[in-house]
A and B are shown apart, each in its own frame.
Chain A
Amino acid sequence: MIPGAFNYHCPSTVADAVALLSSLGDEARPLAGGHSLIPMMKLRLATPEHLIDLHGIASLKGIRQEADRLVIGAMTTQHELLASPEVSAAFPILKETALLIADPQVRYRGTLGGNVVNGDPGNDMPALMMTLHASYRLEGPDGVRDVAASDFYQGAYFTALEPGELLTAITIPFTASGHGYAYEKLKRKVGDYATAAAAVMLTMANGKVESCSIGLTNLSDTPLLAEAAADAVIGTGLDDDTLKKASERAQEIMSPAADARGPVEYRKHVGGIMVMRALKRAAARAA
C-alpha cells in the first residue's frame, strides 16, 4: 500500500508553513507524526496534493512553563510527554493517558498536536484537554488566536480550525496541588481506540469533592465534557448512590456509534462504568 503522489514541503518556520497552507489551500495538509494521515493516504481516504512536514520547525517542539500554565509545542511527541519531568510533576494524568495511546513505536512519532487537532473522536487527548481546561494556539494568515479545547470540536473531523491555520501549541493552566486524577480507558487490545474512556480531575477537602471535571472519549462524534455528572459529585463523599447518579448523568450525553467495539447500549453502559472507576481512582489519589 503506497500513498498517492504528492508534493513534499519542509518549511523551517511557522510563518512559512502558514504561508504554504494559505497559498496551497484545500489541497495541502500539515504532516505531524503521520500516524493518522499516512494510513489514511494509503487507503486513499486522504489524497492531499501537498504535504507540509512540520518536523523542520524547531519552535513547535518542547515543553515550557509560562506563568501559571504549561505550554506544550504541538509537535511534542507522546514519547516526549512521557519523558518530561515537568509533565510528570504537574499533570500525571497526561502521562497516564499517553501510556494508553497506541504502542511504543507510534508514541515516538505521534504528537500531542496531531492527536488533538485532527478531530478524530477516537483520539484520547481531546477529552483530556477539555477536562484540563486547555486551550489551543492557532496561527494563521490573519494572526494568532487561542481557542478553548471545549470550543474546538464541532463534529467528527470538524473543528474550529480555519483554512490556513496551524495549531502551534497547547496551553494547560496549572491545577491545584494535591488534585486527584484518573484516565480510565476500556479497549479491546493494545493500540485500539477506546470502546469508552473517561478522564477525571478533582480536588477533595475534608473527605468531600470540592471541584471536579469529567471528560469522555469516543462516546459521541466529539469529545464531551460531562458537566452535569461533575456537578453531581460536588460536596459528596462519592458514595455508591452518587457514583451511580454521576454515571447516569454522563450517560445522558453519550451518543456513541455502534461499531466493532459494540452496540450503542453496551458502549454507554461501559462508558458509565469508566466514569465511576475514574471518579473512585481519582478520589483515592487526591490529597
Chain B
Amino acid sequence: MAKTHVTMTVNGAEVEGLVEPRTLLIHFIRENLQLTGAHIGCETTHCGACTVDIDGMSVKSCTMFAVQANGSAITTIEGIANADGTLSALQEGFRQMHGLQCGFCTPGMIVRAHRLLQENPSPTEEEIRFGIAGNLCRCTGYQNIVKAIQYASAKINGVEFREAAE
C-alpha cells in the first residue's frame, strides 16, 4: 500500500513521516516519533490511555489514523510540563495527591484533564468525574485523581486548595 507523507506539530515541534493509511495515530506517535508516553491499553476506544490533544480536542489516538492528523497540532504527555521543565499544575497535583499507583493510565488522564481545565477552569467534582469518564483507572478508585485535578484547578486559579472532608 502506498505510503503518504504527513507533517504535524507535536509538542511544538514540526515532525514528518511516511505512513500507510492504516497506521493508527498512536502507533505513529509511539513508533515513528518515539514518544512512548501515550499508552496502548485496550485498543478498543474504551480505556483512554492513548489520549492525546489534537487541535484542542481530547482524542483516543488508537481510533484515528495518522494520515487524518496531517497538518494538525498535537500535544502528548511529553508536552505537558511547563516550558522551563518544571511540573505543570496538573502533574504537580497528581504527585501531591497521589493520583496514580501503577501509572499506566496517568498520561491519558493528565492530557484529558488538561483539556477539561482549558474548557472549564473551575469544574465541580461532578464535572471532573463526568469529564474524565473516558479514562479508566484500575488502581486508584479515582478519588485521588479527582483530588489531583481539583488541586491543579485551584493552582491555576490562584486559590488555596483545600481537600474536602471525607
Contacts and interface: CB of A to CB of B under 8 A. Distances in A.
B46 interface: yes
Nearest to B22: A3
B106 to A, nearest CB: 16
A141 interface: no
B77 interface: no
A164 to B, nearest CB: 22
Nearest to A104: B134
A105 B44 contact: no
B153 interface: no
A6 B58 CA distance: 26
Contact of A8 (B21, B57, B112): B21
A105 B22 contact: no
B4 interface: yes
A271 B58 CA distance: 33
Interface stretch (A34-42, A59-67, A153-161, A253-261): A34-42
Contact of B43 (A5, A42, A102, A109): A42
A3 B4 CA distance: 16
Interface in B11-26: 20-24
B45 interface: yes
Given A103-B48, A108-B57, A6 B21 contact: yes
A108 B20 CA distance: 24
B58 A5 contact: no
Contact of A105 (B1, B23, B58): B58
B60 A105 contact: yes
Nearest to B4: A8
A8 B67 contact: yes
Contact of A2 (B2, B24, B44, B48): B24
Pick from A4, A35, A55, A109 the residue with the most CB of B within 10 Å: A109
Size bin of chain B's contact surface: 20 to 34
Interface in B126-163: 130-134
Interface string A1-19: 1111111100000000000
B27 interface: yes
A191 interface: yes
A108 B59 CA distance: 7
Contacts of B23: 2
Contacts of B4: 8
A55 B57 contact: no
Contact of B112 (A2, A42, A79, A104): A104
Interface string A103-138: 111101100000000000000000000000000000
Given A2-B27, A8-B21, A106 B57 contact: no
Contacts of B65: 8, 34, 38
A35 B63 contact: yes
A38 B63 contact: yes
Interface string B27-62: 100000000000000011110100100000111100
Contacts of B44: 1, 39, 42
A275 B117 CA distance: 36
A3 B65 CA distance: 10
B96 interface: no
A7 B60 contact: no
A275 to B, nearest CB: 26
A106 B112 contact: no
A190 B22 contact: no
A105 B27 contact: no
Given A3-B22, A5-B21, A8-B21, A53 B58 contact: no
17 contacts: A3-B24, A5-B22, A6-B1, A7-B21, A8-B21, A38-B45, A38-B63, A39-B63, A103-B48, A104-B112, A105-B60, A105-B112, A105-B134, A106-B60, A190-B134, A191-B46, A191-B133
Interface of A: 1-8, 34-35, 38-39, 42, 51, 53, 55, 79, 102-106, 108-109, 190-191
Given A8-B4, A42-B43, A106-B45, 4 more contacts: A2-B22, A104-B58, A105-B48, A190-B134
